[in-house]
Structure 1
Amino acid sequence: MNQTLLGALCLSLAAGIWGGMFVASKYVLDYIPPFSLMVIRYLIGCTVLFAILRWSRIPRPAKTRSDWLLLGWIGFIGYLVTISFQFIGVDLADAHTASLLTATTPVFLVLFARIILKEAITVQKLVALLLASAGVVIVIEWNAGMGAYLLGSLILVMAAISWALLSVYVKRASAKFSSVEITAYGIFFGMLLTIPFAGWELQATGLAVPNIMVFSGVLYLGIVSTAGGFFLWNKGMQLMEAGVGSLFYFFQPLAGAVLDWLLLGEALTIHFFLGFLLIMAGIAVMTLGVPAKLVSSWYRGQGKD
């Protein structure tokens, strides 16, 4: 399979998985508090990934001190800071606002890819970002009342920024390490850093006895959303330019809307379909190079005249 297509598939699947993650999380969080749930899902996720590393023939290069620092930074910024900010932001605002503001991640990702990875910011990327961003706003149906959640909104923007940083540093780490190893160690360090918060949380709130549905939800979050979703995202970022791959993050609110329709019976309005078309147009512009081809054709036409 073409590398770009494989990367697009991985990123689309990851965003789709996370779009549906909120359905499982909403149920499980009634029984298990947020930081404790993070530790449990990280433990399951990194166990699965380390088992794959142990029993596969994936190369595992020797690590220098700077390599360990990079992997630890990925765990801190991506799997502690980002997820914590998302939990706090949703608590102070609402899920609707969270969906919109965390979908700004690709904008920050393109900027950080320019600063850290020296990727060019082209007209093609800007046009694609504008189209897809407009699509997300339409899907989620922006309303003026969101401004009331100022602190929560600011924290959610910080979550978007930190996830963009994670994606850029994953791209840098992928020059030496496999996506499985990056994800496994990132989740492992994220788990270690989250344990103190979970301990404090459990002292304050305690832990309810889980039933079979909660147990199933935790397994889904640990294996599918954590091990599977994070691996697919990191693999996709390895295969594509960070700025190009960022566009596929916009699939997350689309997947969430479809699953709400399938599982919760919520209606899909005209806003969803209009937003879907704009997001797909943005991805087409980025992956097919529409502006560049139009400009090239125009110049060839001018030459003939």
Structure 2
Amino acid sequence: MKQNKIIGALYLSFAASIWGGMFVIVKDIVGQISPIQLVWLRYLVAAPVLLLFCLVMRIDWHWRKQDVGLMILIGLIGNTLSIVTQETGTWLSSAQLGSVVTAATPAFMVLFSWGLLKVRPTRGDWLSLIFAMLGVICIVGLSFSVRGVLLGALMLMIAALTWALMSVLIRKVSPDVNALQVTLVGVLVALITLTPWVLMHAQVLAGVNFFSLHVGLSLLYLGAISTASAFVMWNVGFRKMASNLSGLFFLFQPIVGALLGSVFLGENLGIGFVLGTVMIGVSIIVAVKVQ
């Protein structure tokens, strides 16, 4: 049992670290590819990789009506709305802001779990939520003078809320439905949803040099590593560890995102980001300690 938790912790840490690096890649590549088209390309790369994972692992497929409905909803809320607002918010603000604000997701899950799963929040859960909100206000409050950054922060808040909602909806899917199937269906739903928009604005992609090593490696990271591989790591780690501990590992996301943003994008590590990161970190630690 202890060994499973250690293995699970490693998988969760790697996944969250990969997602932290994702914000830097997005901030860099959106200068050449707009956010919605970037999300579509990301899933276009991830879908065959996930399908390969499913075939290699020989998962059992389940298509019950209730589960299919939930998987479609998960695809619309999480894979479509959350990721589009996440990458748009990162484009309008910074990689640091993107990685830190979305790290408040575990705290938002408390509210959705109460409403959808009837899991009543404890005093520690409320304390955790307060710390998370203070952390977000601390970070975003320093950027209100810049309209674009404020809009980016609002987008990132929507991304965090919708990802939290999606995470809770995943728990309502029947336990015998493999998490890989849920992820693959969500990715396909997002692809189908975004394709009409991409086709109507095909000229945006016409000017992208897909033969560029920079563009190719960025899309490979976002699709194969950040989406497909990281989701597999998270799913494995989530199953090996108690679910109430998994939120702690989101801490690796803002830490990695902020450090890489500083090194590769020249983003300053101001006191607001440091204090906000600490606040969100405390919120997640409190949520774990009181369980």
Give TM-score, length-normalised by structure 2.
Answer: 0.81
Whichever of the two has the greater Rg, that structure is 1
Distance of 1:214 and 1:257 partners within structure 2: 22
State the shift of 1:136 in Å. 5.6
Cα drift, residue 179 of structure 1: 2.1
- Residues 31-63 of structure 1 show CA distances to partners (whole Å, capped at 9, x for unaligned) of 3333332222212212112111112243x1432
Q: How many residues align?
A: 287
CA RMSD of aligned residues (A): 3.3
For residues 84-138 of structure 1, the C-alpha deviation after alignment (integer angstroms, 9 at most, x for no partner) is: 22344456x5236655553443332111111112223112223334445545665
SS in 2 for 1:185: helix
- Pair 1:249-2:250 in alignment: yes
TM-score scaled by length of structure 1: 0.78
**Cα pair 2:14 2:230 within 8 Å, conserved:** yes
For 2:158, the aligned partner's letter is M
- The unaligned stretches of length 5 or more in structure 2 are none
Match of 1:172, SS?
coil
- Return 5+ residue gaps in structure 1 as ranges: 293-305
> In structure 2, what is the equivalent of residue 39 of structure 1?
40
TM alignment of 1:1-305, pairs within 5 A:
2=2, 5-58=6-59, 60-90=60-90, 93-95=92-94, 98-99=98-99, 101-135=101-135, 140=139, 142-143=141-142, 145=144, 148=147, 153-173=153-173, 175-203=175-203, 206-210=206-210, 211-238=212-239, 244-264=245-265, 266=267, 268=269, 277-289=278-290
Q: Supply the distance in 1 between the matched residues of 2:280 and 2:63 (Cα, whole angstroms).
A: 40
Identity %: 35
1 CA distance for matches of 2:238 and 2:22?
A: 20
Q: Is the 8 A contact 1:10 1:233 kept in 2?
A: yes
Tell me: CA distance 1:128–1:65, structure 2 relative to 1, closer, same or farther (3 Å): same
Take 2:284 and 2:107, find their aligned partners in 1: how far apart are those partners?
14
Query: In 1, are the aligned partners of 2:254 and 2:277 still within 8 Å (CA)?
Result: no
C-alpha contact (below 8 Å) 2:251/2:281 kept by paired residues: no
Does the 8 Å contact 1:114/1:120 carry over to 2?
yes
Q: Using the TM superposition, name which of 166-175 and 204-213 deviates more.
A: 204-213
1:237 CA drift (Å)? 4.7
Contact 1:27 1:214 in 2 (8 A): no
**Kept after mapping to 1: 8 A contact 2:135/2:277:** yes
On the 8 A contact 2:131/2:279 being kept in 1, the answer is: yes
Cα displacement (A) at 1:78: 0.9
65-74 vs 271-280, which moves further: 271-280
C-alpha distance in structure 2 between counterparts of 1:102 and 1:62, whole Å: 31
CA shift in 2, pair 1:135/1:4, >3 Å: farther
